[in-house]
Structure formats: structure tokens, C-alpha cells
Amino acid sequence: MQKDAREHKKDGIQHLVLGFHIMKVEVNRKYRVHRVHEAVATSDYIKTRSIFLREQLQRGRYVIIPTTFRPNETGEFMLRVFTSRDYDAAELTQEQPRIPWYSCVKRPVVVTTITVKGATTLQTETAFGGETDAYCVIRCEGEAVKTPVDRGTNSPKWDTTAIFYRSRPEKPIVIEIWNKSMLMDGFLGRAEVLAPINTNSVQVELPLYGRRKEKGIIKTGVLIIQVYSDDDLISI
């Protein structure tokens, strides 16, 4: 919504042709978007005070970008979002992580996105057989991102993307697969990926291994991921 321009019509001030674009982004994104992501919806662009769009979105994180139809036009606007559930909305103002000069934390040198596409032929974790309710946990330098649970299948699909600003790119990113349970979640396998700098998004299939004493034992199943890494922190 923009300010009412009718009272200034005699001064030549008119409403701008406004609209907005919705993109699905990484589930843990905290910084501004620098590249076009998956398009979810686009409103009409109309020369009117307010634009309305009703859209049903899947669970995830989204960025709404209000724009003018013509390039280089600027103006003030108010954005209102109505949802059926509580949501955590905030304006993205920072371009990248800022580390204070006095901090002991190393500055990030690489940005990496990991898209967990899915897995195949996972081992049934329950004693009674059947299919699993699997989810993933992506761990990178102290940060953990969890995917939704894909229920009732041994070949789950998640299509969940996470973004990490890494200060130690020599350390692998760990992806764990768990089976959701009412009492205690069961471990199904883990995989590691180094994710060196590669500005071409690459899809890879990773074998699954155990943990702790079974760290070197291969588990049943294959994890499918897509990886992107760049030393330009505002490349994506």
C-alpha cells in the first residue's frame, strides 16, 4: 500500500505502478538476497494505492520484494502480511554477517548452500519393520538446521536448503538422518561433505555411515544433496 496521491493530483503527483514478488529462500537465511531464488508468486502490477494477493504457501522461509513496474522509480510503501499461523517476519537489512573488530570469532570466508533433496532405501529403524518418518539435521560450525519430517517412506524427499557462512571451510558439513518417534528418535545414518568453492551448483550422492563406535560402518541408504560454495559472501 502506498500513500493516497489523490489530494496531490493537481501537483502532478500520481500513484506508482506497484506490485511485489515472493521467493522461497533458505530456511535459515538472515541476510539480504543477492540472486534470484525460486519464484513462488507475483502480484499484478497496477497503478493503484493498494495491491492484494492471496497465496497458499508450503512451510518454509520466504522473501517478499515490493517493486515498481518501471526501473529507477522510488516511493514509500507499507507492507501488510496476514497469515493463519504465527510467523517470524523481519526486514532484511544486512548484506552479510558482521563480526566486530574486537571479537575472537574468525570472519567467514566462504558462503555455502546445502540443499537436501532426499534419500533412497533407508534402513527401517523399528523392530516391527515398516517405513520411516525421516528428517535431516544439517550441522555446520555450531549451527544446526532441521528439515521437516517426511512420513511413511524409506525414500524421503525434503528439498530443504540451508545457507552457512563458514570461517573454517576445511571442516566438513555433517548431515544426519533421523527417524521421528514418539519416545526417542532413532539414528539412521550420517554423511559428510567438504563443499569446496564451486560456483556451479553440483548434485552429489553420499553414502551413509554410522556414528561413534560405528563411525566407519556403512549404513543402508544414499543421501542426495546439492551444493554451492563461493568466496564472495554476497554472491547468493
Q: What is the CATH number of the domain that holds 191?
A: 2.60.40.150
- CA distance linking residue 63 with residue 2, whole number of Å: 19
Whether residue 193 contacts residue 173, with contact meaning beta carbons closer than 8 Å, is answered with yes
102 found inside a domain:
no
- What does the pLDDT read at residue 71? 87
Mean pLDDT per block of 10 residues along the chain (236 residues) reads: 66 76 95 92 88 90 91 84 86 89 82 97 67 94 96 94 96 96 90 93 94 88 96 94
165 found inside a domain:
yes
- What does the pLDDT read at residue 188? 94
Residues 127, 90 share a domain: no
Residues 216, 132 share a domain: yes
Q: Which residues lie across from 182 on neighbouring strands?
A: none
Exposure string over 143-180, b if 16+ CB within 10 A, otherwise e = eebebebbeeebbbebbbbbbbbbeebeeebebbbbbe
- What does the pLDDT read at residue 41? 94
Which residue, of 95, 125, 154, is where some domain finishes? 95
